[in-house]
Amino acid sequence: MSRGAPAAAEAPGLPPIGALRAWAARVLWAERLEDKLCDVDPAAPDPGPLRGAPAAPGRPPGLGFSARDPRPHKPSDAALAEVRARGALLHDFANHELLALELMALQLLRAEALPPAFVRGLAAVLRDEQRHLRLYIDRMGALGVTFGEVPVNGFFWRALAPVEEPLAALEGMSLVLEQANLDFCQYWAARLRSLGDAESAALLNVVFEDEIGHVRHGLAWSRRWRPPGQTDWDRLVAQPEPLGLGRCRGPVFCAAGRERAGLEPEAIARLAVEGRSRGRLPAVWSFDPGVEEAALALATGRPRAVSAPARALSADLALVPLALLAAGDLLLVPALPPPALLARVAEAGLALPELVVDPGALAGRALGPGRPWGWPGAPALAGLRPPAPTPDPALWGKAWAAARVAAARAACGLPAAPWPVVLTDLNALDVALAAVLAAHPVAVLKAPFGASGRGAQRVVGALTDAQRRWAAGALGAQGALVLMPWLARALDLSQHADLLPDGQLVLKGQVRFHNDVQGRFCAVSTHPPQLDLPPALQRALTADGARPALLAEVGQAVFDVLRADLVAAGYHGPLGLDQLWWAPEQPARVDAVADPTEGPFQCLPLVELNPRFTFGRVGLNLRARQAPRARGRLHLAPAAGLRGLTLDALPPLRLDGAGRVLEGIVPLSDPATATQAVALWVVAPDAPALVAAEAALGLRPPLL
C-alpha cells in the first residue's frame, strides 16, 4: 500500500500536524466532556506516535462501557410517543458519535507516516463528530435526558481500536459504520418526523448530510491505497468480522446517499440486496419439496430416488424460505437469483439472507440452527442435524395422523366417524371400501408419503383394475393406505404452530388454502380466512357468531391431542395441520366442490399433519407484510403459463403508510428460469381487484 510521504512544510494558516496529534491525545484520554469537545491548540507539542491498542478511551463519569453491552434502543411508535423514550434513542446516537470521535483521535495518533492531506481529512471528520455530539446532547436535554444516564456499549471501540493497518481502520469506519449510518439516520428521521418530532428528525438529517462526506472521504483514500484492480464491492466483501458486510447497511437502504458519496453503482446494487448477518450466528435455511419421499426412504431403508422434475422443482422454489427467515440468515440456493427479484422482495419488507450456492464454503464457519423445509433429507451441514433423538420418519406419513383423527374429533366435541381407515393388508381393502361407499358416493385412497394432494386415487362405485394395481404397489412400497370418503369440500384451512424442544406448543395462526378439484394445492390466501366468505360459512366458522375464536380453539385442541405423541416420537419444529369444512347434505363430486353459500357445514379437524414448513406457513408469514385491508394470495403456478412474465415488466408495488404491501406482485421464483412451478404473491386492495389481477397474469381463480 502506497501511503505517500509527509509534506516538507506545513500548509500556511493550518494547525501543524503535531498540534493535531496533541489535540487527538487530549480528546482520546479526556475524562471530562468539555475536553472531548475541545478545539485544537496550534502551539501544543506533538505527543509522538501511539503504540498498541488501549483497552478503552478516557470517559466522563456515567459514560464508561458497560460490562455487558446493552442493545441499542429500538422503541415502537407507541413508546416513542413518550418524550424521554426519544431522548434515550438519541442517547445511543450520541454514544456512537463519541465513539467515532475517539476512534478518529486514535487513528490521528497512529498516523505517523501518512500523507498530511489524509491526516487533515481525519481531523475534519473528528470536528464533525464533535459538532454532532453537541447537537445530540442539546436535543437530548430538551427531551429530558442527560448524556450519561443511559448505559452505553463499546462495540465500535472493541471492533476497530485494535486495527492498526490504516486502510483497514479507514474502511471499517467509513465504508462500514458511517455508510450504515446513512440508513439509520434516514430510518429514524422518517419515524420521528411521522410522530411529530421535527426537531429530532432535522438533527438526524444534518448528521446524514455530513456522513455522505465522511463516506466520500473514506472511498477516496480506499481507492488510492487498495490493491490495483479491486472495486468498491471487493472492498466491502473483504471487510472482516465483526464489522463484515452485514454491518454496511441499516434497516432501510438509502441508495441516493450512497450515490452522492460516490460509491460505485455495482456496489450499491449488490449491497441493496445483501442480507449477511450482523454478528449473530445465522440460521441455515434450505428448501426441499420431497420431504415425504425422504422420510419414506428413511422408514424403509431404501435409497431416495430424486427424479429430474423433482430436482427442477426444488431449484424453482429455492427462494420460498425468503418469507420465513430473518435478516442475516443463510439460504442455500442452486444459483443466485437476479438482483431485481431480491430488490422486489426487499421492497415488500421481507428480510434478505446471505445466499449460499456452494455449501462447501461454509466449512469451518460458525453456524446457528438448521432450518430445513423438513428434517428428512436436510443438507448434511453442521447446524442442520435433526433433533435428538432422531424423529420417527412415520410422522411424515398420513397414516400417523389418520390413526389420531378419532381423538381429535373427540377433543373438538365432534361425533365419532368410522373413517379414516388405515389399511395394511390389500385383502381388507374391498370390505373397508364397500363400507365407505355405502354412505358416500366417492371415496379416496391415499398413499401415506405424498404431499400437496398427490399420491391419491378417487374411487367411484368400485376399484378399477388400474386403481387396484396402484393400491397394491402403494402398499408394497409404503406399507399402508389411508381410506376415507371424498367429501364435499367448502373450505380448506391449515393451522400452524411451533413445537419447542421443551414440549411447549406455540400456536401461530390459521390460513385458508386453495386446492383444485383433485385436491392438489394451488394457492394460499395471505389475508385472514374469515374474510370474503359467504355468510353461511362465516356463521359456521364462528359458531353462529357466538365464538369468534373458534378457529384458534379447534387448532389448539387438535395440537394438544398430538403434542405428547410428537414429543415421544422425538420431534420439535414447525407444524402444519390441514383441516376442512364440508357440506354433508351436498353430494361429493369428483369434478366439483361444494357450494359454500349452502349450509350446513361440518368440520373435519384433522386431515393431515405436516411436521415441516408448508406453503400455508409461508402465506401466514406474508400476512404480516400485507396491508390489513388488502387481499392477497400466494400462488404455486405452472411455469409454462407464466413464460411471458418478466421481472422488469412488473408494475411498481404500492405500500401503505407502514410499508406493507397494498397492491402488487412479489415473485418468490424467477419466472424466466423456472421450468416446473413459480411461487407468486399477488396483492390487491380488495377481493374483486385481486381476482382481476390474477386473471391478468393467467392464474386460475381459486375454486373455493
In this model, does residue 451 exceed pLDDT 70? no
Lookup result for grid cell 460505485:
264
Rounded mean pLDDT of the chain? Answer: 90
- 396-485: CATH number: 3.30.1490.20
In this model, does residue 703 exceed pLDDT 70? no
Least confident of 4-13, 183-192, 356-365, 582-591: 4-13
In this model, does residue 27 exceed pLDDT 60? yes
What grid cell was written down for 580? 376442512
Instruction: State the Cα angle at 128 between 125 and 131, rounded to 5°.
Output: 155
In this model, does residue 704 exceed pLDDT 70? no
Q: Mean pLDDT throughout 247-274?
A: 91
Q: Mean pLDDT throughout 492-496?
A: 94
| pLDDT value at residue 183 | 94
The span from the CA of 603 to the CA of 551, in Å, is 10
Condensed to tens digits (0 to 9), the pLDDT of residues 217-236 reads 999 999 999 999 999 999 99
The pairing of strands 330-332 and 354-356 is parallel
Cβ atoms within 10 Å of 571's Cβ, excluding its own: 22
Question: pLDDT category, 8, cuts 50, 70, 90?
Answer: very low
What grid cell was written down for 333? 440456493
The span from the CA of 380 to the CA of 529, in Å, is 37
Please, which residues bridge with residue 521 across strands? Answer: 515
φ, ψ dihedrals at 654, nearest 5°: -105, 125
The span from the CA of 578 to the CA of 224, in Å, is 61
What grid cell was written down for 140? 437530548
Q: Report the sign of the C-alpha dihedral through residues 586, 590, 595, 601, in that order.
A: positive
Q: DSSP characters for 589-622?
A: BTTB---TTS---EEEEEEEEESS--HHHHHHHH
Q: Mean pLDDT throughout 348-368?
A: 87
Residue 512 zone, left/alpha/beta (φ > 0; ψ -120 to 50; rest): beta
In this model, does residue 2 exceed pLDDT 50? no
Q: Mean pLDDT throughout 637-665?
A: 91
Residue 527's Cβ-side half-sphere holds a number of Cα atoms within 13 Å equal to 21
What grid cell was written down for 314? 426444488
Cβ atoms 586, 598 nearer than 8 A: yes
Rg (CA), the chain: 31
Q: Mean pLDDT throughout 378-399?
A: 78
Q: Mean pLDDT throughout 430-449?
A: 94
Calculate the alpha carbon distances from 404 to 32, 419, 457, 553, 702 in Å.
71, 11, 22, 18, 30
In this model, does residue 382 exceed pLDDT 70? no
Fold topology of 489-697: D-amino Acid Aminotransferase; Chain A, domain 1 (3.30.470)
Least confident of 104-108, 317-321, 527-531, 623-627: 527-531
| pLDDT value at residue 4 | 44
| pLDDT value at residue 7 | 39
Cβ atoms 490, 601 nearer than 8 A: yes
What grid cell was written down for 147? 448524556
Cβ atoms 680, 667 nearer than 8 A: yes
Q: Mean pLDDT throughout 577-581?
A: 93
Q: DSSP characters for 645-687?
A: --GGGSPPPEE-TTS-EEEEEEESS-TTT-SSEEEEEEEESSH
The pairing of strands 370-372 and 284-286 is parallel
Cβ atoms within 10 Å of 179's Cβ, excluding its own: 29
Domain 17-35+78-272 in this protein, CATH class: mainly alpha
φ, ψ dihedrals at 426, nearest 5°: -60, -30
Helix (H) or strand (E) holding 483: strand 481-485
Contacts of 392 (CB under 8 A, 6+ apart): 569, 570, 571
Domain boundaries along the sequence of the chain: 17-35+78-272, 284-385, 396-485, 489-697
Contacts of 173 (CB under 8 A, 6+ apart): 100, 103, 104, 107, 160, 218
The span from the CA of 195 to the CA of 484, in Å, is 57
Residue 326's Cβ-side half-sphere holds a number of Cα atoms within 13 Å equal to 10
Q: Mean pLDDT throughout 651-674?
A: 93
In this model, does residue 251 exceed pLDDT 60? yes
Lookup result for grid cell 455487558:
68
| pLDDT value at residue 385 | 64
Report the interhelical angle of 116-142 vs 198-225 (nearest 10°). Answer: 160
Cβ atoms within 10 Å of 638's Cβ, excluding its own: 15
In this model, does residue 3 exceed pLDDT 60? no
What grid cell was written down for 329? 440468515
| pLDDT value at residue 52 | 76
Cβ atoms within 10 Å of 18's Cβ, excluding its own: 16
The span from the CA of 414 to the CA of 427, in Å, is 31
Q: Mean pLDDT throughout 637-650?
A: 89
Cβ atoms within 10 Å of 579's Cβ, excluding its own: 22
DSSP state of 11: P
Alpha helix ranges (H) inside 161-290: 166-171, 179-194, 198-225, 232-237, 255-261, 265-272
Residue 447 zone, left/alpha/beta (φ > 0; ψ -120 to 50; rest): beta
Contacts of 358 (CB under 8 A, 6+ apart): none
Cβ atoms 569, 391 nearer than 8 A: yes
Of 325, 349, 289, nearest to 627 by C-alpha is 349
Cβ atoms 642, 670 nearer than 8 A: no
In this model, does residue 32 exceed pLDDT 50? yes
Cβ atoms 229, 193 nearer than 8 A: no
How many residues are given for the chain? 704
The span from the CA of 99 to the CA of 90, in Å, is 14
* Residue, of 418 and 273, whose pLDDT is higher: 418
| pLDDT value at residue 544 | 53
DSSP state of 175: I
The span from the CA of 698 to the CA of 72, in Å, is 47
The span from the CA of 661 to the CA of 443, in Å, is 42
Residue 573 zone, left/alpha/beta (φ > 0; ψ -120 to 50; rest): left
Residue 107's Cβ-side half-sphere holds a number of Cα atoms within 13 Å equal to 31
Least confident of 140-154, 300-314, 322-336, 493-507: 300-314
The span from the CA of 572 to the CA of 656, in Å, is 37
| pLDDT value at residue 1 | 43
Cβ atoms within 10 Å of 389's Cβ, excluding its own: 9
Map residue 354 onto helix, strand or coil: strand
In this model, does residue 6 exceed pLDDT 70? no
Instruction: State the Cα angle at 448 between 444 and 453, rounded to 5°.
Output: 55
| pLDDT value at residue 9 | 43
Contacts of 249 (CB under 8 A, 6+ apart): 179, 180, 183, 271, 274
Q: Rounded to two decimals, what is the model's pTM?
A: 0.76
Lookup result for grid cell 456512537:
96
Cβ atoms 700, 351 nearer than 8 A: no
In this model, does residue 496 exceed pLDDT 50? yes
